[in-house]
């Protein structure tokens, strides 16, 4: 019996070995670059998915051990002092180079590696723990590299969550603050930055400063969207709200662009909706989803959409459109918060075309998705150029009143579907992003991720045309993505008055590059036409997005550094 088992094991090992040998011979015959470009799923499935699992196991075990030993709060002060010492050492060296975070560029949720890190002074920031959960104040204090997956896993068992949970697991607090983040609850709570009550930063002189709406308020409002050019974020305090077990979600197919915009606007204005989201599958076909938090559920309608063998969420939603029927489901809250993670919205279908096949999901779905950071680390120059010219990852934030016109513009210039619609309230706070008037206004994030089908699409020309439109309606572009605006156009879109005032007052000019001014080399590269500069701030979304530490911007979906 034992001998038969041993023979069976050896036979299996020989089979696996023979399979790997044949795979390696095939890769050698085709050429590694050809395989990575035209058959990338082979590399992703056989190498990146297993590596991604190992990454997850390591960070989950580390987070568990840190919390069980209560070491995070004790070590936090020591780690912050180490950051201050590095900044002071930079000053002693004569402040000859700009500073940036020392986190490797490939670790961020972005499709690009920032080359600026090779020429800047790298400040090592190893801050990735939950520091304190204050139930009385309903605030959680965290370090900047805490991810959304890590935070919800920590808070949900305690009966808490945060008001805005950007979808992808690997998006980090630092990226969502220094860049921005959004979720389908943002029509109530605003962007991720609007749920934060305080930040702690190490400034250019090495000092540690806390800022809030009532303490160093100018700095508090200037930090979001600043991409780490005002200081190094070392901690943040975020509001908490009571968590509930399920999200009761209602799916409603809508046809006709005008009806889609009317229905989406109507639902976005209803505060009784805990969540509002739209997926646009063509110019005149969409599914509008609304959800409410609840502790009760009809057992027959519970859908644990986050289980590895379940269909990708956007494909699941499309079934209601194809069947032309409404529906109601109860999704466990944490599954809902990270509903787009497994398919990286819909980007994974371009990497693993058969990834939503039931056989693949049941056999290998537990390994999905691959880490965006690993995808970036292993992408060659050919893939990078391919993505730049034939792939878009963009989130444009426009006033809700301009939704119909904006969708038409996306269709003409890009023709990428699905399109993500997410409403958010934009308060009239100081800082880089606020409504044109003096009152809070309802906006919408329009997200396009994929290969443009527009015949006239040309990356630079098409995106400049779209950026011009967004400026004309007083909208904003998420800065994790490619931005082709000139410096003047950039500051026409964003309000830089407070930002520039603080850079002057805090002596940031020698410490951090202006964003995105004279020191463009770390944020942008100049294309062949000298009339425009291309801001390469990340992808994120990828889309993400992993949003990362200070000096990083994010998409709510993906992050940049």
Give 309 or 520, the one with higher predicted confidence. Answer: 309
Joined tokens for residue 65: 């051990």
Q: Check residue 554 and give its pLDDT.
A: 35
In this structure, the strands spanning 285-294 and 241-242 are unpaired
In degrees and rounded to multiples of 5, residue 15 shows phi and psi of -65, -45
Place of tokens 């520091």: 131
Q: How confident is the model at residue 44 (pLDDT cuts 50, 70, 90)?
A: confident
Least confident residue range of 332-336, 434-438, 530-534? 530-534
How many Cα atoms occupy the beta-carbon half-sphere of 295 within 13 Å?
4
Q: Check residue 519 and give its pLDDT.
A: 33
Provide, rounded to the nearest whole percent, the portion of the chain with pLDDT above 70: 81
Q: Please give the average per-residue pLDDT across 48-56, as a whole number.
A: 86
Q: Check residue 529 and give its pLDDT.
A: 33
Is the model's pLDDT at 540 over the cut of 80?
no
Is the model's pLDDT at 26 over the cut of 60?
no
Domain ranges for the chain, please list them.
Answer: 246-491
Q: Check residue 51 and give its pLDDT.
A: 87
Q: What is the DSSP letter of 147?
A: B
Least confident residue range of 114-123, 273-282, 314-323, 488-497? 114-123
Q: Please give the average per-residue pLDDT across 469-484, as a whole number.
A: 92
Least confident residue range of 41-50, 85-94, 216-225, 532-541? 532-541
Q: Check residue 112 and give its pLDDT.
A: 52
Is the model's pLDDT at 165 over the cut of 60?
yes
In this structure, the strands spanning 121-123 and 99-101 are parallel
Q: Check residue 40 and give its pLDDT.
A: 73
Q: How confident is the model at residue 139 (pLDDT cuts 50, 70, 90)?
A: very high
Is the model's pLDDT at 538 over the cut of 50?
no
113 vs 555: CA distance, rounded Å: 16
Q: How confident is the model at residue 95 (pLDDT cuts 50, 70, 90)?
A: confident
Cβ-based neighbours of 106, under 8 Å, separated by 6 or more: 113, 373, 374, 376, 377
76 vs 83: CA distance, rounded Å: 11
| Average pLDDT of the residues of the chain | 84
47 vs 51: CA distance, rounded Å: 6
CATH number for the region 246-491 comes to 3.40.462
Give 49 or 407, the one with higher predicted confidence. Answer: 407
User: Mapping DSSP to helix (H, G, I), strand (E, B) and coil, where does residue 460 land?
Assistant: helix
Q: Check residue 509 and give its pLDDT.
A: 87
Q: Please give the average per-residue pLDDT across 322-340, as a whole number.
A: 96
Is the model's pLDDT at 2 over the cut of 60?
no
Q: Check residue 537 and give its pLDDT.
A: 31
List strand residue ranges (DSSP E) for 169-244, in order: 196-202, 208-211, 232-239, 241-242
Cβ(168)–Cβ(541) under 8 Å? yes
Q: Please give the average per-residue pLDDT across 301-311, as a whole number.
A: 96
Place of tokens 């020591």: 78
- In terms of Cβ atoms closer than 10 Å to its own Cβ (0-12, 13-18, 19+), residue 252 is middle
Q: Check residue 490 and give its pLDDT.
A: 94
Is the model's pLDDT at 558 over the cut of 60?
no
Q: Check residue 556 and give its pLDDT.
A: 35
**Residue (of 63, 83, 213) closest to 131 by Cα position:** 63
535 vs 526: CA distance, rounded Å: 9
Provide, rounded to the nearest whole percent, the portion of the chain with pLDDT above 90: 59
Q: Please give the average per-residue pLDDT across 435-463, as a whole number.
A: 92
Q: Give tens-digit pLDDT for 178-199.
A: 989 999 999 999 999 999 999 9
Q: Check residue 101 and give its pLDDT.
A: 84
Q: Check residue 255 and give its pLDDT.
A: 98
415 vs 492: CA distance, rounded Å: 27
Give 440 or 38, the one with higher predicted confidence. Answer: 440
Q: What share of the chain is helix, strand, coil (3-state, %, to 5)?
A: 40, 20, 35
Angle between helices 257-268 and 403-413 (to 10 degrees): 130
pTM comes to 0.84
Cβ-based neighbours of 344, under 8 Å, separated by 6 or more: 168, 369, 372, 541, 542, 543, 544
The beta-carbon contacts of 58-63 under 8 Å, at least 24 apart in sequence, are 59/128, 59/150, 63/128, 63/129, 63/130, 63/150, 63/154
Q: Give tens-digit pLDDT for 337-391.
A: 999 999 989 988 988 999 999 999 999 999 998 887 777 777 766 667 777 778 8
Cβ(377)–Cβ(47) under 8 Å? no
Provide the 10 A C-beta neighbour count for residue 193.
Answer: 23
């Amino acid at each position: 019996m034992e001998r038969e088992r041993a023979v069976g094991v050896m036979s299996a090992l020989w089979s696996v070995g023979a399979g790997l040998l044949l795979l390696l011979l095939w890769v050698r015959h085709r050429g590694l670059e050809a395989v990575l470009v035209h058959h990338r799923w082979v590399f992703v499935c056989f190498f990146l998915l297993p590596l991604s699992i190992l990454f997850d196991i390591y960070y989950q075990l580390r987070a568990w051990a840190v919390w069980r030993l209560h070491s995070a709060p004790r070590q936090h002060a020591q780690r912050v002092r180490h950051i201050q010492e590095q900044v002071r050492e930079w000053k002693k060296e004569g402040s000859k180079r700009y500073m940036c975070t020392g986190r490797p560029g490939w670790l961020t949720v972005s499709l690009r590696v920032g080359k600026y890190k090779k020429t800047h002074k790298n400040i090592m920031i190893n801050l990735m723990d939950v520091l304190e959960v204050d139930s009385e104040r309903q605030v959680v204090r965290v370090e900047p590299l805490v991810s959304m997956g890590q935070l919800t896993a920590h808070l949900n068992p305690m009966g808490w969550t945060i008001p805005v949970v950007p979808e992808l697991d690997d998006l980090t607090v630092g990226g969502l603050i220094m860049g921005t983040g959004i979720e389908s609850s943002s029509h109530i709570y605003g962007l991720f930055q609007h749920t934060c009550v305080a930040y702690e930063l190490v400034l250019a002189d090495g000092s540690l400063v806390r800022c809030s709406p009532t303490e160093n308020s100018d700095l508090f409002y200037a930090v979001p969207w600043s991409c780490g050019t005002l200081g190094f974020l070392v901690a943040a305090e975020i509001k908490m709200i009571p968590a509930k077990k399920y999200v009761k979600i209602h799916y409603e197919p809508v046809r006709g662009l005008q009806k889609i915009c009317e229905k989406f606007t109507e639902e976005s204005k209803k505060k009784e909706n805990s969540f509002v989201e739209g997926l646009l599958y063509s110019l005149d076909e969409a599914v509008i989803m609304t959800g409410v938090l609840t502790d009760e559920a009809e057992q027959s309608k519970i859908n644990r959409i986050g289980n590895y063998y379940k269909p990708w969420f956007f494909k699941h939603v499309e079934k209601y459109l194809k069947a032309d029927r409404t529906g109601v489901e109860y999704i466990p809250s944490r599954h809902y918060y990270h509903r787009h993670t497994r398919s990286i919205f819909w980007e994974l279908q371009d990497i693993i075309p058969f990834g939503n096949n039931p056989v693949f999901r049941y056999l290998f779905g537990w390994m999905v998705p691959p880490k965006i950071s690993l995808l970036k680390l292993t992408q060659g120059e050919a893939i990078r150029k391919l993505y730049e010219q034939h792939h878009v990852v963009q989130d444009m934030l426009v006033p809700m009143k301009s939704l119909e016109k904006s969708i038409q513009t996306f269709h003409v210039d890009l023709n990428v579907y699905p399109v993500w619609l997410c409403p958010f309230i934009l308060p009239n706070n100081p800082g880089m992003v606020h409504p044109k008037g003096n009152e809070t206004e309802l906006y919408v994030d329009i997200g396009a991720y994929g290969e443009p089908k527009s015949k006239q699409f040309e990356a630079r020309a098409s995106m400049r045309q779209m950026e011009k439109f967004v400026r004309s309606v007083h909208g904003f572009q998420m800065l994790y993505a490619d931005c082709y605006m000139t410096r003047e156009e950039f500051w026409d879109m964003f309000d830089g008055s407070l930002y520039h005032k603080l850079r002057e007052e805090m002596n940031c000019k020698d410490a951090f590059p202006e964003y995105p001014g004279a020191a463009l080399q770390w944020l942008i590269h100049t294309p062949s036409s000298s009339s425009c500069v291309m801001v390469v701030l990340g992808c994120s979304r990828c889309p993400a997005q992993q949003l990362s530490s200070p000096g990083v911007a994010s998409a709510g979906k993906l992050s940049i550094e």
